Amino acid sequence: GAVVSQHPSWVICKSGTSVKIECRSLDFQATTMFWYRQFPKQSLMLMATSNEGSKATYEQGVEKDKFLINHASLTLSTLTVTSAHPEDSSFYICSARAGSYSGNTIYFGEGSWLTVV
């Protein structure tokens, strides 16, 4: 199946610093990528939809100035958590939509564990 790579797998940062997470579709072009956050024992929560070449669409309650999303190419989207705080510690997962030839199936990256200390 299609492969979506996410990097880094885990990161520890100091409170107040910024962290960038990359999401790449390795064998298909993804015009749309999605960013999720998942707290322990909870379901996936969609944060934003990232469209190549345009601004991301954020879900209600998600601060666009804190979670910066850049979808610079058809295979790369990045999420930057700015001025991170301990409450931002979570499992961040990206996904990418394959084309109509694949039924618009959405594939997930491996996820990134963020710990803010």
CB atoms within 10 A of CB 5: 15
Which region, judged by CB under 8 A, interacts with other proteins, from 12-20, 60-68, 73-81, 92-100? 92-100
Q: Does 107 bind other proteins (CB under 8 A)?
A: yes
104 binds other proteins (CB under 8 A): yes
Phi then psi for 82, rounded to 5 degrees?
A: -95, 145
- The amino acid at residue 112 is S
Residue from 11, 13, 22, 57 that binds other proteins (CB under 8 A)? 57
**E strand residue ranges, the chain:** 4-7, 10-13, 19-25, 32-38, 45-51, 57-58, 67-73, 76-81, 90-97, 106-108, 112-116
Token pair in block for residue 34: 């999605």
Q: Which region among 22-30, 62-70, 72-80, 88-96 touches other proteins (by CB under 8 A)?
A: 88-96
Binding residue count for other proteins, defined by CB under 8 A: 22
| Number of Cβ within a 10 Å radius of residue 74 | 15
| Position 106 contacts other proteins (CB under 8 A) | yes
Residue 32 binds other proteins, judged by CB under 8 A: yes
Return residues touching other proteins (CB under 8 A). Answer: 1, 6, 32, 34, 43-44, 46, 49, 57, 91, 93, 95, 97, 103-111
